[in-house]
Structure 1
Amino acid sequence: MATQSWTTIHSGYELSPYTFKKRSRTATEYYAQPCGDVWFNTRRWKTERVINEAKALKLLAERTRIPIPQFIRCGQNDDGSMFLEMSRVDGIDLSEAGKECRKPGGVRHNSGGGECNKCMDIAKANAEHFIQTVLLPELAKLRSNKTGLDGFVLPPAWMLEYDTRPHWDTKTSSYNEFVFTHGDLGPDNLRMDPNTLMVKCVIDWEHAGYFPPGFQKWAVDDGTYHALYEDHQTIFELARSIEP
C-alpha cells in the first residue's frame, strides 16, 4: 500500500502502511484559500491541540486499558506546523457501519446491497456497550484537582463553537474532583472492526483533559452528537463551572 496524504480545512494527514500522522496547518495554507482567514482566526490553539493529543495518548497508554493508537512521536516541522505520528489502526468509523451490509457472523441482512440499518443498529449497540462498560469506567480512574491537561485547557469541541473566548484558565480544586474526558466522543471517533462491528479503537483525543463529570458526554449517532452543539444552556452552565 502506498502512502496517502490529504488535508482538511484544519489539518493535514498522512497514512502509511504502518503509521498515521496528523499535523496542524500553517497560516500560509489557511490564507491561500477562500475564507481561510475566517477559519484561521476561529480555530484556536493549532499547535497546542496536537501536543495535547500526544500527551493524552501517552497518559492513556500508561494508566488505562482503553484501545487507542500507539504514540510514536510528536514534533515540529520545518514550516512551523506541529505533527503527531501514531500507529495505524485499520477499520471503519462508527458513522460508516451502515453504508453496506457487513454480515457480522456471516449473516446478510439485505439481499439487494446498499445501506443496512441492521448493521448500523448492531454497531451502535456494540459501541454503546463498549462506552458504558470499558471507556467510561477506565476514564473514571483518572482524576485530578486541576482542569485541562498539564496546564493547558481545551474544552470539548461542542462548547467552543458557542463560547469563543480566546483563553481558558486552569481551575484548581481542593480535591480530585475532575475526571478525564475525551471531549469529542461521537460516531466519527470510534473505529470499528468492519467484520465484527465491535469497537477497535478510540481516536482523536485533541480535546482530552480533566473536567467536571458533567463534561463526560458522548453519542453513538449523528443526531445526538450534533444536539450537543445546540444545547446552549448546558454549555453555558458547564463553561461557568470551570471558571476559576
Structure 2
Amino acid sequence: MTTETWSTIHSVYELSPTTFKKSSRPKEKYYAVKGGDAFYRTRHWKTERILNEARALLLLAKTKIPVPKFIRCGDNDDGTMFLEMSREDGVELSEVGKACHMSGTVGHNYVGECENCKAIAQANAKDFIQTILLPELANLTSDTTGLDGFVIPPAWMLETDTRSKWEPVTFSDPVLIFIHGDLGPSNLLMDPKTLTVKCVIDWENSGYFHPEFQKWEVDMGRYYALYTERNIHLELASSITL
C-alpha cells in the first residue's frame, strides 16, 4: 500500500498505510487559485483549526467515541501546521448509497446506487449518535466556551457570522458541553460490511458550547440546510458573545 497525497484549497492530506496527516496551507497557495484570496480572508484560523482538532482528539481519547488516535502535531518548515493521526478506513456515510454493500444473494443492487444500503447506514448512524456519541459528549462539560482558549463556532454558523475572532466567554457554572461542530454524513466513517459507524472524524470546529449548538444530520441535504438557518445562527452567536 503506497502513500497518497492530495489537497483542497485549505488543506493538504497525506495517507500512509498506518497514518493520516493533514496540514494547513500557506497564504500563497490560496492566492494561486482563482477566488482563493477571498477564501483566505473569510476562512479564518488556518493553523488554529489544526491545533484545535489535535486538542480535541486527546480529550476524546478518554471517551467511548471512536476517533482517530493522536500521534503528533507541530509546525511545517513553511510555517503551516500539521496534525498526524492514525489511519481509520471506512466509507463516508455520504458515499454509502453510491453502491450496494450487501454481498452474495442478499445484495440489494448489483450495479449502481443502493437506497437500501443508504437507509440502513443512516439508521445505524442515527442510533449511534443518539445512544453513544451525544451522551459521551454531554459528559464533557466546562464553564468556558471553546477549547483551551480558542473559540471556533460550528461550521454551519460561520457563513452568517464572519468575525475573525471569538473571545472565550466564562459562565458561573459548567453549563457548556462538548460539541463536534461539523457533524454530518461526510464526517462519519462507516464499516462497509456492517454499515455501522466505525469512526467520527474532522473535529476542527469542536469545543464547549451551549447544548443548543449540538446540531447534526445523517442526510446530506438536511445537513446543508443547517447553513441556511440565519436567525438561529444569530441567536446562538449572541449567547456566546461578550
Q: Report TM bin, short chain.
A: over 0.9
- What does the per-residue CA deviation read over 1:81-108, in whole Å, with 9 as the maximum and x for residues that have no partner? 1000000001110001111110079621
Unaligned runs of 5+ in 2: none
Q: Which amino acid aligns with 1:159?
A: M
Report the equivalent of 2:92.
93
Deviation, structure 1 residue 223: 1.1
What percent identity do the matched residue pairs reach? 63
The 5-angstrom pairing of residues 74-223 of structure 1 reads 74-103=73-102, 107-111=106-110, 113-223=111-221
In 1, Cα distance between equivalents of 2:221 and 2:36: 28
Report the equivalent of 2:44.
44
Give the TM-score taking structure 2 as reference length: 0.98
- What does the per-residue CA deviation read over 1:174-213, in whole Å, with 9 as the maximum and x for residues that have no partner? 0000000000000000000011100000000000100000
In 2, Cα distance between equivalents of 1:168 and 1:227: 24
Q: Report SS of the residue matched to 2:97.
A: coil
**What is the aligned residue count?**
242
In 2, Cα distance between equivalents of 1:172 and 1:91: 38
Contact 1:104–1:197 (CA<8 Å) still a contact in 2? no
The 5-angstrom pairing of residues 68-79 of structure 1 reads 68-79=67-78
Q: Report SS of the residue matched to 1:123.
A: helix
Q: Report SS of the residue matched to 2:61.
A: helix
- What does the per-residue CA deviation read over 1:111-157, in whole Å, with 9 as the maximum and x for residues that have no partner? 4x100000000000000000000000000000000000001000000
Q: Report SS of the residue matched to 1:20.
A: strand
Structure 1 stretch 26-35 or stretch 142-151: which is displaced more? 26-35
Q: Which amino acid aligns with 2:56?
A: A
Unaligned runs of 5+ in 1: none
In 1, Cα distance between equivalents of 2:145 and 2:20: 29
Report the equivalent of 1:5.
5
In 2, Cα distance between equivalents of 1:221 and 1:89: 22
Q: Report SS of the residue matched to 1:98.
A: helix
Contact 1:91–1:193 (CA<8 Å) still a contact in 2? yes
Give the TM-score taking structure 1 as reference length: 0.97
Over aligned residues, Cα RMSD in angstroms? 1.0
In 2, Cα distance between equivalents of 1:177 and 1:28: 41
Deviation, structure 1 residue 110: 2.1
